[in-house]
Chains A and B, each alone.
Chain A
Amino acid sequence: QQQVKQSPQSLIVQKGGISIINCAYENTAFDYFPWYQQFPGKGPALLIAIRPDVSEKKEGRFTISFNKSAKQFSLHIMDSQPGDSATYFCAASEWAEETSGSRLTFGEGTQLTVNP
C-alpha cells in the first residue's frame, strides 16, 4: 500500500522559532508533493508544493526541502507565529497513465502549536 509517514505527531514551538515537519514516502512513482494547512472546522488549504526535479522551494516563511534519494521531504516554517497554529499534512500523488488521473495520499498530520 502506498504510504506517506509524517512526524512528529505534535509540535510546540515558541514564537519566532523554526517549525520543522518531516515526511517519508515509499512509492518512487510519486511526482508531486504538496503541504496542506488545516484549521479547526475548515478544509485543508494548499500551502506549498514541490516536484521531485528540485530540492528546495521557498514561498515566504514556508520552505519545502526534498531529498529524492532518501525519499523524504520536509516543511520548514521560519519565524513561526501563533497564527500558524494548525494541523499540517504532507501529501504525495502519482499521475496514473492508465487512468490519466491522480490521487493524493496523505500523511497522518502534525498538530503545530506556536506559543506567544
Chain B
Amino acid sequence: KAGVTQTPRYLIKTRGQQVTLSCSPISGHRSVSWYQQTPGQGLQFLFEYFSETQRNKGNFPGRFSGRQFSNSRSEMNVSTLELGDSALYLCASSLAGGEGYFGPGTRLTVT
C-alpha cells in the first residue's frame, strides 16, 4: 500500500508570495491533517480535513488555509509569505482521525 505522498518536496519562495502544497493520503484514509515543523516551535498542528470539511484548526493566522477534495487529496495554501513561514510542512493521513501516518514533508524556504 503506497504511503502518504507530498509535492513538491522542496520549494523556495520570496516574501509576499503565496504557495500551494499538495498531499495525497494513503488509499482509503479520509482524514488529512497538516503540521508545521520548525527547530524552534517543533511540530505544530495546522488543521484537519475529513470528507472535504475542515473539522479542526490550530492556532495559525488566516494566511494559512487548506482544502480537501472528494478523493481525499488535500492542499494547503499560505498567502503573503513571511520569513518565519520557512519550515517543513507535513501531511498526515488516517482512517478517521487520531493516529497519523506522515508523508515526507515539503521543505519551504522563504527568502
Q: Which residues of A contact B (CB under 8 A)?
A: 32, 34, 36, 41-46, 49, 89, 91, 93, 95-96, 99-109
Are the CB atoms of B56 and A101 closer together than 8 Å?
yes
Q: Is there contact, CB below 8 Å, between A43 and B102?
A: yes
Q: Determine whether the beta carbon of A106 is less than 8 Å from that of B104.
A: no
A46 and B101: CB pair below 8 A?
A: yes
The B interface, classified by DSSP as helix, strand, loop or mixed, is strand
Residues of B within 8 A of A109 (CB): 42-43
Q: Do A103 and B58 touch (CB < 8 A)?
A: yes
B45 touches A44 (CB 8 A): no
A103 to B102, CA, bound (A): 13
Task: From known contacts A43-B104, A49-B99, A101-B50, infer whether A106 and B55 are also in contact, taking CB-CB under 8 Å.
Answer: no
| Total A-B pairs, Cβ < 8 A | 65
Q: B42: which of A43, A46, A100, A108 is its contact (CB, 8 Å)?
A: A108
The 8 closest A-B pairs by CB, nearest first: A43-B102, A101-B55, A106-B43, A101-B56, A102-B97, A99-B55, A103-B45, A44-B102
Given contacts A95-B98, A101-B48, A102-B97, contact A44 B56 (CB under 8 A): no
B interface residue numbers (CB < 8 A to A): 4, 31, 33, 35, 42-45, 48, 50, 55-56, 58, 90, 92, 97-105
Please, could you name 8 A-B residue pairs with CB atoms under 8 Å apart, sorted by A?
A: A41-B104, A46-B99, A96-B56, A101-B31, A101-B97, A102-B56, A104-B45, A108-B42
Chain A residue nearest to B39 (CB atoms) is A109
A34 touches B102 (CB 8 A): no
> For A99, what are the chain B residues with a Cβ–Cβ distance below 8 Å?
55-56
Please measure, in the bound complex, the distance between the C-alpha atom of A14 and the C-alpha atom of B37, giving whole angstroms.
Answer: 29
Tell me the complex Cα distance, A41–B9, Å. 10
Complex CA–CA separation, A46 to B100 (angstroms): 7
Q: Are B56 and A43 within 8 A (Cβ)?
A: no
Residue with the highest number of chain B CB atoms closer than 10 Å, among A42, A96, A99, A107: A99
